[in-house]
Chain A
């Protein structure tokens, strides 16, 4: 892989830089091209030599951002339809389940022209001082080029647990440069780089291609020429990025567990914890329910090598509709386990999300909005992010279920449902149903493109 041409965020979640500030930019009337040129040298690549740098910076653009950088509509049409239309497009919002209170018109970010996003700058640091220094420099660049910016602080929690108290991103996919290599963990196999970076082979052994753009001349190193030298491979070493601001109602979740837990598991002294695990599909320390159905195991690094088909085909250990089972059914999608694993290999998402807002304190339960700034990298937004969202998380018919959606991030039917939302907990002789409430709300979102370093140079050129 051409690490020097790939933005660092693709290959690293920047665990050494636990605090971050995300800048949401609008280019209205500003010198967008000059701005890109000004921060170009600060953008971090994935090259080995940069790994010791204490601060990291990455940048991604929406379709409107690329238009602001001079991409004409016919050129933008060479990008995938979903990227050009954007996450807030009404049809796409419907497919993603962003309806009612989650609809784009209610978003703080990216939902309408008023809240439009043109670019997202991700700044990472080890300490607040480092982050403030970088912010000062960036704000000076924004001001100099007339770029409007707002920001939100984000962080990696020291204990690795997200706001609901669960250990996060347990099964983030791992890259494999050799797609044919036998994998030691067949249930969570390594994924070829083309699933996340354009220009490389994906799980179907097809090369993930990016958009071709008109040729520019420059002293900078630009993307390679393609199409009989009539265009440049702008997409090469770039990734698509789905951004969502998800607000979590932690006090509501805690109250719900306390109320519904004993009703769902009347004989279990730890009923609330069991209900939470049934919703998520893992125990708070990350141990999968399917491997530890009796309680949270003590060992800190739970195994990720498991499938559902043989151990738990009927969902008696881990409910069929549990969040992690929906998001990655492993060998449980459809009738053929091997085909399911192969299919799931081509819909994986590289998650780079961070938390925002104060940590939940049960002694001061109402201390401001909190949630997840979700970032998912992929090479095909429709085939990966939208597939997971629409066909797995929001699929009311997944795995023989009927009329259910993801219990954690799915949204209830608007206007169509003549029944309450519920989670089925499979048991003998038949499943019991737990009425659900909603604890996650969408507050913003956008589809972005995270260009390669040479493509960034292209954007800075007139």
Chain B
């Protein structure tokens, strides 16, 4: 069976000036229906629409459509269109060049043309499909229901007996064996990747230091003392926030900031992000310790903006704290390439304080116009627990396995 690995696709549809309101209006109208239709999709994990206001006086607005899905991209687009084509068309028709009576082919062409290359990673286990995740969640609920129902019967039994009892009750509900999803071996680390890593990060560091030092000197010369040389008090971009269903434990964070000048810096940043993606895919070093990020992307837009999106559990401050603790230098190096960052490599440090990191992240947050999750009430930890419960129910009952099951539920 072919490897089924979760992917994220980012598409930036340009919006004609003055049509932002129409796009938002169309999304407002379609929101409820889109949620309902997307929930029938078998490949879709997450989706978001974000209206990006013009980045500057000469900038143009655009609409970001980001979907995280399983397997083949063409099949995913076909499924989305088959389920919600009419609603998608009603939203996208307000964007530049999208035909009024669009068909699947028009949608595929538009996506192909407007696709933006992003870097990032997909949770600790990108092999878990939507279908599998939902099956395992239902199984866990069923286990809990059996335990609650039969408590008086099981209260004096041993953990192994309890597991056997649950297995007996739920044998029919057990999902099939593993999908046969394999690890993406193309991304396994080798010497070549290590060299690329060193070159990418080092060139980004050098580019940042050179440019920031130049900025620093220029500002010393031209600006009065006391200014920071960066956008330390950024203007916030705000919009009403329709979001995930009311009590979702997941959050969708979108952040945009202008990149600092320097073609070399941008190239170096692109290389560094690409390396980070490959390194994470193969080793899990960056995202695994966080353990609460479902999906995370960086995207450099044509008009020189760094877009950062994340689907995560709990508050962004908590996640930033974890990122900060684990890979603050890497994150700091990436963010110090943006004008939003009040830090500069010229000072010899790219490691921001958590407080300032949070302030800048939140100040440049963009509210999504639409957010969808196929399993909004499940955390990354739940996905792992549910997978383990599913596995425990398949094996031979034993005291150890029974104890573990009771720990997990």
Contacts and interface: CB of A to CB of B under 8 A. Distances in A.
A416 B148 contact: no
Given A430-B147, A430-B409, A415 B155 contact: no
Interface stretch (B205-213, B245-253, B268-276, B336-344): B245-253
A255 interface: no
Contact of B317 (A78, A97, A382, A429): A382
B387 to A, nearest CB: 14
Interface in A436-456: none
Interface in A207-244: 227-228, 230
A228 B314 contact: no
B246 A94 contact: yes
A97 B246 CA distance: 8
B248 A416 contact: yes
Interface string B149-185: 0010011011100100000000000000000000000
A387 interface: yes
Contacts of A396: 247, 249, 377
B226 A228 contact: yes
A132 interface: no
Contacts of A402: 140, 144, 382, 409
Interface stretch (B7-15, B119-127, B234-242): B234-242
Nearest to A103: B246
Nearest to B251: A95
Nearest to B402: A429
B396 to A, nearest CB: 19
A428 to B, nearest CB: 8
B159 A429 contact: yes
B247 A430 contact: no
Contact of B363 (A81, A230, A418): A81
Interface residues of B, number: 46
Interface string A96-111: 0101000000000000
Interface string A59-97: 000000000000000000110010000000011001101
A6 B377 CA distance: 43
Interface string B349-375: 000011100100011000100000000
B187 interface: no
Interface string B214-252: 000000000011100000010110001101011111000
B382 A429 contact: no
A303 to B, nearest CB: 30
A42 interface: no
Interface in B114-144: 140-141, 144
Nearest to B145: A419
Contact of B382 (A386, A395, A397): A397
Contacts of B355: 204, 206
B146 to A, nearest CB: 11
A402 to B, nearest CB: 7
B157 A429 contact: yes
Interface in A392-407: 395-397, 400, 402-403
Given A416-B377, A429-B154, A386 B246 contact: no
B82 interface: no
Nearest to A82: B362
Contacts of A382: 315, 317, 362
Interface centre among B151, B162, B358 (most CB of A within 10 A): B151
Interface string A375-399: 0000000110011001100011100
Interface in B296-333: 313-315, 317-318
A77 B315 contact: no
Interface centre among A97, A382, A430 (most CB of B within 10 A): A430
B235 A416 contact: no
A416 B226 contact: no
B381 interface: yes
Given A99-B246, A402-B409, A416-B245, A81 B362 contact: yes
A433 interface: yes
A391 to B, nearest CB: 6
B353 A206 contact: yes
B3 interface: no
Given A382-B315, A390-B315, A430-B409, 10 more contacts: A94-B246, A204-B354, A382-B317, A383-B317, A391-B314, A396-B247, A400-B407, A403-B377, A413-B246, A416-B377
Interface of B: 140-141, 144, 147-148, 151, 154-155, 157-159, 162, 224-226, 233, 235-236, 240-241, 243, 245-249, 313-315, 317-318, 353-355, 358, 362-363, 367, 376-377, 379, 381-382, 406-407, 409
Closest 4 CB pairs of A and B: A91-B241, A228-B226, A413-B247, A430-B406
